Amino acid sequence: MQTSKKSLFDFAIIGAGISGASCAYFLNRYGQKVVVIDKDKVASGGSGAAGAFLSPKICSNSAYTAFINEAFEFSIKFYRDNFDLHLDKAGILRLLKTELDLKKCKLGEEILPKNFKYLQPKEIKNLKKEACKFGGYFFKDGAVIDSIGVIKAMLEGIDVLEALHVEVLRYEDGCYKIAGIEAKGIILCVGNSEDFEELKFLGLKDIYGHRVDVKSATKLPFHMHKSCSISASRDGIIHIGATHIPNYKYLIQKDFKKEIDDMLELAKSYLDFDGFEVLDIHFGKRNSTSDFYPVLGKVINAKETLKKYSYIKKGSKVPKEKYEYYPNMFVHSGLGARGFVVAPKTAEILAKNICDDGQIDKRLDTQRLFLRYAKREVLI
Ligand SMILES: Cc1cc2nc3c(=O)[nH]c(=O)nc-3n(C[C@H](O)[C@H](O)[C@H](O)COP(=O)(O)OP(=O)(O)OC[C@H]3O[C@@H](n4cnc5c(N)ncnc54)[C@H](O)[C@@H]3O)c2cc1C
């Protein structure tokens, strides 16, 4: 990994998780000169804690499910074509929880990624009988990605600055100036960081969680998910994820022993572990929007736009071209619980939008969250 020289960049990307790495990768492919900055280390945020299961969404035929499954197909191909070494392609078995799940899955089959097969309970091997009583869907293309390895690989050949906490975005003479770096544009890939007032209007929420690495002699030949995920065993190690802890900041309890124990008990109810030694517990946060779609696009100067067009608060329409924006500043965030599934697809859309006038679907762009923010403002 290189360190940055003092020079002018097209974009400074703040945040070196899967969001920032994906943006850097695609902008670089478009010939943009980028630098990636992180207050800590590469993949030190939620991305480093993730189990990084690449799993489709099932049991629903909603537009959101279709979006996730398109992103799944895109990302599997993307990782295979470019970062195959980091991909554990054992396939993923999604066990159903109820009889109703099976009905819902059948209805939504047309938006499932290709290469799937419904398995009857008696066809499922390696797992406890009781856990499989409604059968499951096996996705041959399902995988687990080595989260830290793939992010480092995506950033190869790209300038990276670690241990640089960006607190102020100073824009002067057509450039952002950050600790000796000059960049014509900024991409904020910081999740729900409190450092940036500019992102408040997105109303992002955090859900914290744990992944546990376990040593066991049990050999599971595929990845699986029911109410928690269990990876295939590699060199005697199995990853189990993840807990879901909203409102972490307001919780006094610090060790989350109960949440972790509950998750491990669930895993034990699916798989007979031959030896079970906890090697490591990873903790991090996911961030998501109120409608769960990721958010990407130009950063709206929410306060100035509302000052100029206060009637937006009451629902009057103003074309988004007339909004006030921070100069050449973009965001790529709200990746939720499937950041590794979604980020390659959404980063490609953003890079195409910036470099090639590509459109951002209105379900993904910043405007929808701004309009919700404007409505909230009128209620306060
Ligand atoms: C326990 C757990 C399990 C998960 N399991 C899966 C899974 O199985 N499959 C899946 O696809 N996804 C999974 N996820 C979700 C996935 O990890 C997230 O969606 C993804 O990591 C979000 O990536 P990000 O780059 O937006 O955020 P992050 O990885 O958190 O990166 C943000 C970066 O910004 C940096 N930063 C913040 N503020 C500043 C600043 N002011 N200056 C400089 N740098 C700054 C941080 O240091 C951090 O490195 C899981 C998440 C968790 C926590």
Considering the domain architecture, whether residues 31 and 116 belong to the same structural domain is answered as no
Q: How far is it, in rounded angstroms, from Cα 256 to Cα 213?
A: 16
Q: Is 235 exposed, middle or buried (0-12, 13-18, 19+ CB in 10 A)?
A: exposed
Which of 155, 244, 286, 331 is the pocket-test mutation for ligand 1 (most atoms within 8 Å of CB)?
286
Q: Which of 3-17, 179-193, 199-213, 350-364 has the lowest mean pLDDT?
A: 3-17
Considering the domain architecture, whether residues 193 and 265 belong to the same structural domain is answered as no
Question: Is 326 inside a domain boundary?
Answer: yes
Residue 102 Cβ inside 6 Å of ligand 1? The answer reads: no
Q: How far is it, in rounded angstroms, from Cα 176 to Cα 163?
A: 19
The pLDDT of residue 301 is above 60: yes
Helix (H, G, I), strand (E, B) or coil at 180: coil
Domain final residue, candidates 264, 286, 308: 286
What atom of ligand 1 comes closest to residue 165's alpha carbon? 42
Q: How far is it, in rounded angstroms, from Cα 340 to Cα 343?
A: 6
Q: Which of 292, 280, 267, 283 is nearest to 208 (CA)?
A: 283
Query: Which residue puts its alpha carbon closest to atom 12 of ligand 1?
Result: 338
The partner residues of 285 in beta bridges, in order of sequence, read 208
Q: How far is it, in rounded angstroms, from Cα 348 to Cα 177?
A: 26
Considering the domain architecture, whether residues 112 and 261 belong to the same structural domain is answered as yes
Considering the domain architecture, whether residues 5 and 118 belong to the same structural domain is answered as no
Considering the domain architecture, whether residues 199 and 239 belong to the same structural domain is answered as no
Considering the domain architecture, whether residues 216 and 351 belong to the same structural domain is answered as no
Residue 57 Cβ inside 6 Å of ligand 1? The answer reads: no
| 173-183 pLDDT, tens digit each | 999 999 999 99
Residue 285 Cβ inside 6 Å of ligand 1? The answer reads: yes
Residue 189 Cβ inside 6 Å of ligand 1? The answer reads: yes
Residue type, 361: D
Per-residue pLDDT at 1: 46
Per-residue pLDDT at 315: 84
CATH value at residue 167: 3.50.50.60
Pairing of strands 295-300, 8-14: unpaired
| 224-265 pLDDT, tens digit each | 999 999 999 999 999 999 999 987 777 766 779 999 999 999
Considering the domain architecture, whether residues 225 and 368 belong to the same structural domain is answered as no
Cβ atoms 359, 214 nearer than 8 A = no
Residue 206 Cβ inside 6 Å of ligand 1? The answer reads: no
pTM of the full structure: 0.96
The pLDDT of residue 380 is above 70: no
What atom of ligand 1 comes closest to residue 211's alpha carbon? 1
Find the domain containing 213 and state its range: 83-147+205-286
Per-residue pLDDT at 245: 92
The number of distinct structural domains making up the chain is 2
Residue 143 Cβ inside 6 Å of ligand 1? The answer reads: no
Q: How far is it, in rounded angstroms, from Cα 152 to Cα 111?
A: 32
Mean residue pLDDT of the chain comes to 95
Q: How far is it, in rounded angstroms, from Cα 306 to Cα 302?
A: 6
CATH value at residue 238: 3.30.9.10
Cβ atoms 90, 221 nearer than 8 A = yes
Considering the domain architecture, whether residues 26 and 125 belong to the same structural domain is answered as no
What atom of ligand 1 comes closest to residue 229's alpha carbon? 8
Cβ atoms 4, 181 nearer than 8 A = yes
Considering the domain architecture, whether residues 162 and 211 belong to the same structural domain is answered as no
What atom of ligand 1 comes closest to residue 20's alpha carbon? 25
CB atoms within 10 A of CB 163: 10
Any idea of the CA torsion for 102, 105, 110, 112, to the nearest 10 degrees? -120
The pLDDT of residue 27 is above 90: yes
Q: Which of 343, 372, 342, 353 is nearest to 298 (CA)?
A: 353
Considering the domain architecture, whether residues 222 and 252 belong to the same structural domain is answered as yes
The partner residues of 118 in beta bridges, in order of sequence, read 137
Domain final residue, candidates 220, 252, 286: 286
Domain final residue, candidates 286, 311, 334: 286
Question: Is 210 inside a domain boundary?
Answer: yes
What are 284's two structure tokens?
A: 């991090």
Residue 37 Cβ inside 6 Å of ligand 1? The answer reads: yes
Question: Is 65 inside a domain boundary?
Answer: no
Burial 134-156 (b: 16+ CB within 10 A, else e): bbbbbbebbbbbebbebbbbbbe
Q: How far is it, in rounded angstroms, from Cα 137 to Cα 114?
A: 12
Considering the domain architecture, whether residues 212 and 179 belong to the same structural domain is answered as no
The pLDDT of residue 2 is above 80: no
What are 359's two structure tokens?
A: 């459109």
